[in-house]
Amino acid sequence: MEYRTLGRTGLRLSAYGLGGMMFGSWGNPDPDECTRMIDLALESGINFIDTADTYGSGESEEIIGRALLGRRDEVVLASMYSSMSKERLERGNSRLWILRGVEASLRRLQTDHIDLYQLHRPDPLTDIEETLTALDDLVHQGKIRYIGTSTYPAWELVEAYWVSERRGLARVVCEQTPYSIFAREPERDVFPVTQRYGIGVLVWSPLAGGWLTGKYQRGKPIPEDSRIARAATWGPKGAARYHLDRPGNQRKLDLLDKLAKVAEQAGLSLTHMAVAFTLVHPAVTTTILGPRTYEQLKDLLGGAMIHLDPDTLDAIDRIVSPGTIVERADRGWNPPWMARRSRRR
């Protein structure tokens, strides 16, 4: 396993991290299999585990907390804060909800500190100074060690950096961003900012929500346990996004045919090529793997030592240009306030 430094922290993380989004009712409700995945990850040299309070409505944190009992110090443990309730007032990145959120996560994780505590999404209604001051207090209390963000636009990373500098607060040390062959926008804006300000990058969705696994091909049935097959249970909006007849998805199928040929020429599976691609950019510290099953993780780890050669990278660039995104819906998040007319006109 390769290890890389997270920004300017001096903290060394494994190039692959284990993500817990699929632990619990969202993906794999079997805690024993989830624990086996954690065992396999640690045995393979992974020292970074990432979860969030909302994953499985807290189940993911609980599973990880139990699995790490007696070996908590073997990993850099990360979690993310976001609303855990449908209550109207429990929203946003205010001091009140952050302090409540971290205490709840500590209980579920059965630990006295979280190594990396991340803001799951930006909050346009809360002053960033309010948010950073609350996180700085948590750092000084020893409840969290480092501060991170997830799916933040480049300009908000810069704003957070300079507010921390001006106020002498603990600064954001990393950004967790969706990045894949299908979603290369971070190369254009987020990565230059993180490199300029010494911010580490954690990659999520390296397989573009399962598209880059090679499961989906024209003329072949959709696997029953795939994300697209399960999307029908996510309501009309979720099902519509993954419908293969959508123009955006038709374009993905066209690109997948071309990418599969590139992978074959390189002697790789499409999955291994796609994950290895995300680690090529010098801004990236760690790519987070989000397996649902033990066998999926085992396969992903089989490509841990793969390095793509220049010819393969050039071929990928010809199919999906650097700095572009195949479909806007794959950005991972669209600011909800953009739905307001006053934000557009």
When pLDDT is cut at 50, 70 and 90, the band that residue 138 belongs to is very high
Residue that the structure tokens 């599969």 belong to: 260
Predicted pLDDT of residue 178: 96
Q: How far apart are CA 17 and CA 267, in angstroms?
A: 24
Predicted pLDDT of residue 237: 64
Q: Does 322 fall in a domain?
A: yes
pTM of the model: 0.92
Q: Does 270 fall in a domain?
A: no
State which of 285-289, 299-303, 329-333 shows the largest mean pLDDT: 285-289
Q: How far apart are CA 279 and CA 287, in angstroms?
A: 7
Predicted pLDDT of residue 216: 81
Per-residue pLDDT tens over the stretch 231-273:
656 666 666 667 777 888 889 999 999 999 999 999 999 999 9
Q: 76 pairs with which residues across the strands?
A: 48
Helix axis angle for 310-319 and 270-278, nearest 10°, is 90
**What domain range is 302 assigned to?**
3-213+275-330
Predicted pLDDT of residue 88: 56
Predicted pLDDT of residue 225: 72
Q: Does 221 fall in a domain?
A: no
Kind plus residue range of the DSSP H or E element containing 115:
strand 114-119
CATH at residue 54: 3.20.20.100
Dihedral angle sign, alpha carbons of residues 157, 160, 162, 164:
negative
When pLDDT is cut at 50, 70 and 90, the band that residue 336 belongs to is low
Catalytic residues: 55
Judge whether 175 and 7 are in contact, CB under 8 Å: no
Residue 125, pLDDT > 90, answer: no
Other beta carbons less than 10 A from residue 305's beta carbon: 10
Q: Does 342 fall in a domain?
A: no
Other beta carbons less than 10 A from residue 117's beta carbon: 24
When pLDDT is cut at 50, 70 and 90, the band that residue 305 belongs to is confident
Q: Does 219 fall in a domain?
A: no
Q: Does 343 fall in a domain?
A: no
pLDDT (average), residues 112-129: 94
When pLDDT is cut at 50, 70 and 90, the band that residue 339 belongs to is low
Q: 293 pairs with which residues across the strands?
A: none
Predicted pLDDT of residue 334: 61
Other beta carbons less than 10 A from residue 18's beta carbon: 27
When pLDDT is cut at 50, 70 and 90, the band that residue 140 belongs to is very high
Per-residue pLDDT tens over the stretch 207-234:
998 999 988 877 776 776 776 666 656 6
CB contact set of 212 (below 8 Å; sequence gap of 6+): 180, 181, 182, 206, 256, 259, 270, 271, 274
CB contact set of 47 (below 8 Å; sequence gap of 6+): 3, 12, 13, 14, 74, 75, 76
Residue 30, pLDDT > 70, answer: yes
Q: How far apart are CA 204 and CA 146, in angstroms?
A: 19
Per-residue pLDDT tens over the stretch 144-157:
999 999 999 999 99
Q: How far apart are CA 140 and CA 108, in angstroms?
A: 21
CB contact set of 33 (below 8 Å; sequence gap of 6+): 293, 294
Q: How far apart are CA 313 and CA 318, in angstroms?
A: 9
Q: Does 225 fall in a domain?
A: no
Domain count, the chain: 1
Q: 149 pairs with which residues across the strands?
A: 119, 175
Taking only Cα atoms into account, the Rg of the chain, rounded to an integer number of angstroms, comes to 20
Predicted pLDDT of residue 244: 75
Least Cα distance to 9 among 179, 205, 194 occurs for 194
Q: Does 261 fall in a domain?
A: no
Per-residue pLDDT tens over the stretch 71-100:
999 999 999 998 766 665 566 898 999 999
